[in-house]
A and B are shown apart, each in its own frame.
Chain A
């Protein structure tokens, strides 16, 4: 189809047919005060040369993890990906494949979705998985809605340890008041305490959404919490870290009803804010309520194996008004990448990544503790931990950036009460030298043990702020 823009003459003719003299007359029905009264603030057209110069200038502002010493986490992690993974998904069959509704021409895509689902089930020990969602945040929100529909209840219980970005998306999903989201605070150790949960949960609760390791890196006692959730008939939604499942108990083994995650760690590079891939698994009994698409293996009339999209009657293209969710696609390419990643890394590789991340994160924490810093929470952690600082974390971040170190996430961005807290993530990719240079950079801010000068003052004296 060619694109032919309309000319002034075309427009005039169209307006004549409609019976108005100016385009603006068509907008008369819209009150003046809600209409934009000024031109849009966009720059004038640019030549290709100027445009590329601009874009290059903008791209130089990026600090990719490949050239900086980054300890950023909070949902997206710089884990290792075998080079073959990237090569494989760049094959045009994978890169250009579109929606696989025509099973007869999409067998490869459907099979890889089926393999993806099977791997997610193996990883989580859950009974069913879908073909992926947009990201971890939408997976959390969809899980909440699914639990609400399944229980016919309206209250969603979350914890303070839920990633605040996931919480924001969940709250956007439930805007309008159909469901209520309530949060339980973390105990002093950084975990949800069973007694607190018992008090907060009731027979009105549709689901408890428990992230473990939680946003602050702490591992939750999911096994202890599970009976409390099921006693009141609520669904247990577990938000997991796919890499951690090499080491920690998978959601299926602590009887979670729904398990969701951000799957970026499984081979998807950190690229600006995305792309991401939402993982979504559930118990078999909930499979008809699962959002998104599900691929299945079947046999054709000749008894040969074939792959199809199944349970399609839950989806929008058959009964739009009865669809279980507004999601009608999946992150096909990223799910493919995760599948390739998991098949290349394997069970042992995943375990090794988990163990190395754990060991290096604990080494980092110990090194910082030896310099006088304290962790915010005492609970066991996997690869990420929150550190209490004597100064606002934003200052530490901006100072260390000058030495090409990105020390972590300033938690004050999410909660003013946490402005002196830094969230540090350590993956298997960090070398001893990377960790030591972080600790050295941080030494500048070490809590004082008697000199009397607050680090902030010292910083000012040194002309650093």
Chain B
């Protein structure tokens, strides 16, 4: 299980990486492992508003389905369209090709309330 040191995490197992004004969001390696084979993701449209720790979509595996929570408040700037045809990319590369959405961040200070890699590691350590 991989936890990248340069990312921030939510308690709901999303990761976020801020790059200038825009942040990329995905689910963690731990989360994809727990879900199993991802078959479908339902994502918002570009331009939709998202709020910190409010659901922005759903992720569906063979036998389970979960909400996706936004780590930050802002506006959806991009959606990973490759997931429409092949959601298993999330299993293969959760921190890379399997990203979900990009968010134009409204208030970067919100990042402070998220978990560091260290804290996330503590949380998921069984």
Residues in chain A near residue B30, CB distance under 8 A:
none
- Does B49 touch A at the CB level, under 8 Å? no
A322 and B40 form a contact (CB under 8 A): no
Residues in chain A near residue B40, CB distance under 8 A:
288
Within the complex, the shortest CB–CB distance from B41 to chain A, in Å, comes to 11
Please, how many angstroms separate the alpha-carbon atoms of A313 and B40 in the complex?
Answer: 11
Residues in chain A near residue B58, CB distance under 8 A:
322
Residues in chain A near residue B65, CB distance under 8 A:
313, 318-319, 322
- Does B53 touch A at the CB level, under 8 Å? no
Q: Which of B61-102 contact A (CB under 8 A)?
A: 63-65
Identity of the chain A residue whose Cβ is nearest the Cβ of B60 in the assembled complex:
A313
Within the complex, the shortest CB–CB distance from B86 to chain A, in Å, comes to 15
Contact with B along A278-302 (1 / 0, CB 8 A): 0000000000100000000000000
Residues in chain A near residue B64, CB distance under 8 A:
313, 318
Which label, helix, strand, loop or mixed, suits the secondary structure of the B interface? strand
Residues in chain B near residue A312, CB distance under 8 A:
63
Residues in chain B near residue A322, CB distance under 8 A:
58, 65
Central interface residue in A313, A318, A319, by most chain B CB within 10 Å: A313
- Chain B residues with a Cβ closer than 8 Å to the other chain, count: 6
Within the complex, the shortest CB–CB distance from B91 to chain A, in Å, comes to 17
Please, how many angstroms separate the alpha-carbon atoms of A313 and B58 in the complex?
Answer: 11
Within the complex, the shortest CB–CB distance from B64 to chain A, in Å, comes to 7
Within the complex, the shortest CB–CB distance from A325 to chain B, in Å, comes to 16
Q: Which of A314-334 contact B (CB under 8 A)?
A: 318-319, 322
Residues in chain B near residue A288, CB distance under 8 A:
40
Residues in chain A near residue B63, CB distance under 8 A:
312
Q: Which of B44-67 contact A (CB under 8 A)?
A: 58, 60, 63-65
Please, how many angstroms separate the alpha-carbon atoms of A318 and B58 in the complex?
Answer: 14
Please, how many angstroms separate the alpha-carbon atoms of A313 and B35 in the complex?
Answer: 13
Please, how many angstroms separate the alpha-carbon atoms of A319 and B58 in the complex?
Answer: 12
Within the complex, the shortest CB–CB distance from A317 to chain B, in Å, comes to 12
Residues in chain B near residue A318, CB distance under 8 A:
64-65
Within the complex, the shortest CB–CB distance from A64 to chain B, in Å, comes to 48
Identity of the chain B residue whose Cβ is nearest the Cβ of A312 in the assembled complex:
B63
Within the complex, the shortest CB–CB distance from A74 to chain B, in Å, comes to 40
Please, how many angstroms separate the alpha-carbon atoms of A224 and B69 in the complex?
Answer: 45
Contact with B along A149-168 (1 / 0, CB 8 A): 00000000000000000000
Please, how many angstroms separate the alpha-carbon atoms of A313 and B64 in the complex?
Answer: 7
Identity of the chain B residue whose Cβ is nearest the Cβ of A285 in the assembled complex:
B84
Please, how many angstroms separate the alpha-carbon atoms of A318 and B62 in the complex?
Answer: 12
Within the complex, the shortest CB–CB distance from B46 to chain A, in Å, comes to 14
Within the complex, the shortest CB–CB distance from A278 to chain B, in Å, comes to 25
Within the complex, the shortest CB–CB distance from B42 to chain A, in Å, comes to 8
Within the complex, the shortest CB–CB distance from B126 to chain A, in Å, comes to 25
Please, how many angstroms separate the alpha-carbon atoms of A322 and B60 in the complex?
Answer: 12
Within the complex, the shortest CB–CB distance from A294 to chain B, in Å, comes to 14
Within the complex, the shortest CB–CB distance from B32 to chain A, in Å, comes to 17
Please, how many angstroms separate the alpha-carbon atoms of A322 and B55 in the complex?
Answer: 13
Residues in chain B near residue A319, CB distance under 8 A:
65
Please, how many angstroms separate the alpha-carbon atoms of A318 and B60 in the complex?
Answer: 11
Within the complex, the shortest CB–CB distance from B73 to chain A, in Å, comes to 22
Within the complex, the shortest CB–CB distance from B7 to chain A, in Å, comes to 28
Identity of the chain A residue whose Cβ is nearest the Cβ of B84 in the assembled complex:
A285
Identity of the chain A residue whose Cβ is nearest the Cβ of B40 in the assembled complex:
A288
Within the complex, the shortest CB–CB distance from A298 to chain B, in Å, comes to 10
* A residues in contact (CB < 8 Å) with B: 288, 312-313, 318-319, 322
Can you list 8 residue pairs at the A/B interface with Cβ under 8 Å?
A: A288-B40, A313-B60, A313-B64, A313-B65, A318-B64, A319-B65, A322-B58, A322-B65
Closest 6 CB pairs of A and B: A313-B65, A313-B60, A319-B65, A318-B65, A288-B40, A322-B58
- With A288-B40, A312-B63, A318-B64 given, can you name 7 additional A-B contacts, CB distance below 8 Å? A313-B60, A313-B64, A313-B65, A318-B65, A319-B65, A322-B58, A322-B65
